[in-house]
Amino acid sequence: METTPARDLTPEGGALWQVRATMWELLAFSLRYPDTELAEAVASGEWADAAREVAGALGLDAAPCRSEGAAEGPARLRSESDAEAPAPCHPERGVEGPSLCRPEQSAATPSSCHPERSAAGAESKDLPQPGVLAGDRVPDALLRSLRAEATRLFVGAPDAACSPYEGVWRAADDGVQALLFVNPRSMEVERFVRSCGLGRPEGTNEPLDHAATECELLEYLAMLEAGLAEPPEGMDPADLPGGSPAAAYDEFLEEHARAWMPRFAERLAAESREPLYRAAARLLGAMVAP
């Protein structure tokens, strides 16, 4: 991963927002339906290198070893002003995920950064050692294994072992049946996404309360605050929830991500048979720790 010189190293400086965006990007990448890019990143150690670098910059003691891995899959957001945004296919469901329309540059990791917080219950010694994530598997074999595990964990037959949807978790909290799209929590997320000027491309049909999509939304808001992205055409940052990217980020983190992701991360770490997902779960848990 390329690095850029850190500018403002204060806790709320642009450099910190830049690194936050990078971590959310990595988590979204990891929680989407696995593709060849994921398998190659895991097998080569690239995912682990990126995770360790970004976790270190944030002061998170949850950095995986070099063998741990990065994919593309569920709902990816797009600017509503861009109807041509690409929409990668979700092979298991035949559903195309919305794609986020943002500057081509990603949030590169500064060479140093003020620590954000310590990781809650995630320590480097608990993570797999080099070679454990992919083992002796070549990318093609690893991809098959990751897809099988992602299907078992996130899709299930008949039920997912670890649902990736906020609405499912919060419906259980409310003691009601979870219905994708039409449950109140999912609709709240969709309204929030749209209030940020984002949405799904036409012809797609994936709930926006998927863990990967919520990570992507937080990435986008962090990029706006860091000055690495521009809001959709015709939208002023003051029009975002709370009146700024930072306020919208904090609101979504508190009202949505932290309401269910800590439990999702804990279950994912416990349920997964693949070291990649256990490592991603620990990083996610650290990012949403109060």
Q: Collapse the DSSP code of 165 into the 3-class scheme (helix H, G, I; strand E, B; otherwise coil) and give the result.
A: strand
Distance between CA atoms of residues 22 and 108, nearest Å: 7
Assess whether pLDDT exceeds 80 at residue 173: yes
Assess whether pLDDT exceeds 90 at residue 67: no
- Residue 170 · residue 275 · CB < 8 Å: no
Distance between CA atoms of residues 21 and 95, nearest Å: 26
Count other C-beta atoms under 10 Å from residue 84's C-beta: 8
Instruction: Tell me what the mean pLDDT of segment 228-239 comes to.
Output: 92
Tens of pLDDT along 5-22?
333 434 457 899 999 999
Q: What is the DSSP letter of 93?
A: T
Distance between CA atoms of residues 265 and 263, nearest Å: 5
pLDDT value of residue 9: 39
Using CA of residue 30, residue 121, residue 109, residue 244, what is the dihedral sign? positive
Bond prior to 158 in cis (omega within 30° of 0): yes
- Residue 167 · residue 213 · CB < 8 Å: no
Read off the pLDDT band of 125 (50, 70, 90).
Answer: very low
